[in-house]
Amino acid sequence: MMFLIPTPTLTVGKKERKKCIDLIFFVLITHRLKGKVAIITGGTTGLFARHGANVIIVDVHDKKGRALCNDIASGIGYSDSSSLSYAHCNVTDDTSANNVVDLVVSKYGKLDIMFNNVGISGDLDKTVLGTTNENFKEVFDVNVYGAFLGAKHAVRVMIPRKSRVILFTTSLASVVCGETSHAYTMSKHAIMGLMKNLCVKMGQYGIRVNAISACAVSTPILTHSLGINKATLDEVITESAVLKGVTPDAMDVAHTALYLASDEAKLVHGLNLMVDGGYTVTNPTFSLAFKRSTGGHHNGCCSRLCSKKMNRTVIESGLPSLKS
């Protein structure tokens, strides 16, 4: 797609210049992936396509995948079906992953972005004794082995071109433990190991590798798994967040992926970008335990008393107090 943009000059009026500048800005910010070719596993919001990329969505659920493509195309006004398409792929099968990459290269001549976005939570049982072998293997097959195969076959066609992007969707479970099942938490830590290793190995070929760790988002899958409605889950997520006044949604992850996939992030490599409103920055368990132990009466007096006790403890331990 080619754009003919009038150049703002000093010979035209102020209003005309503003219109020209606005048009240039609009084209630049709405085509950040112009001419790029992207494979996205497990679905997408359509943001990559809206920014000019040729997008291939891959999954094993063919009916849902094609319906998603149609919804995205109608939502962004796409009339060119070659720019947005669906392909069947079982990410846990080496031949299937190989074939879908070959299909994309034969159609477009290249692959610029491999976004390993598919993942499953598996059983929600957090206990080690409640973890079944079948569930553990299924979670690792999809989340870890599937991500590995996606990266492996993408790298195969990216290395000769010397400049491409591989992205992984992880979660807060990649850095925070105890909130999810053993299988899920371990799978997200494994993806981080894969991302970091690829970062070191692929840098010499100009291939950038990054990950996105997002907080909980009230998607239909999560609300169904937890057995609560969207409003209730949004309330819980907002209450547990450090950053107040905003509710996370799928577009937060999509915009982050767009940035990492674009040339604006040309020096961003080996990063696990947290999209969590500061959730992983703090550990509120002491405050919560203190509040419970005092019956919720944590006023100024309690704070001063707590401070005195802490200073006495610090002094007795031989460390400098907060007053020194």
pLDDT (tens digit per residue) in 170-183: 998 899 888 889 99
In a domain, 9, yes or no: no
SS3 202: helix
The conformational region for residue 296 under phi > 0 = left, psi -120 to 50 = alpha, else beta, is: left
Residue at 1 is within a domain = no
Residues labelled as active-site residues:
171, 184, 188
Residue 304's domain comprises 286-316
State the total domains in the chain: 2
Q: What b/e string do you get for 67-83 counting C-beta neighbours within 10 Å, with b at 16 or more?
A: ebbeebbeeeebeeeeb
Residue 59 near residue 88, CB atoms below 8 Å: yes
The answer to whether residue 139 is domain-embedded is yes
- Nearest by Cα to 261 from 83, 147, 115: 115
- Full-model pTM: 0.79
Q: What is the pLDDT of residues 274-321, one digit of tens each?
A: 999 888 888 877 777 877 887 765 554 444 444 444 444 433 444 444
Residue 308 falls inside a structural domain: yes
Which of 65, 66, 58, 61 lies closest to 41, judged by CA?
58
Query: Looking at residue 233, which CATH number applies to its domain?
Result: 3.40.50.720
pLDDT tens digits for range 61-71? 999 889 888 88
Is 95 in the same domain as 145?
A: yes
| Whole-number pLDDT of residue 318 | 46
How are strands ordered across the β-sheet holding 54-59?
84-88, 54-59, 37-41, 113-116, 164-169, 207-214, 272-275
Residue 33 tokens, joined: 């992936």
**pLDDT value of residue 83:** 81
Quick one: 105 and 166 in the same domain? yes
Same domain, 299 and 215: no
> Does residue 15 form part of some domain?
no
Establish if 20 belongs to a structural domain: no
Q: Is residue 150 part of a domain?
A: yes
Tell me the mean pLDDT in the region 210-235.
87
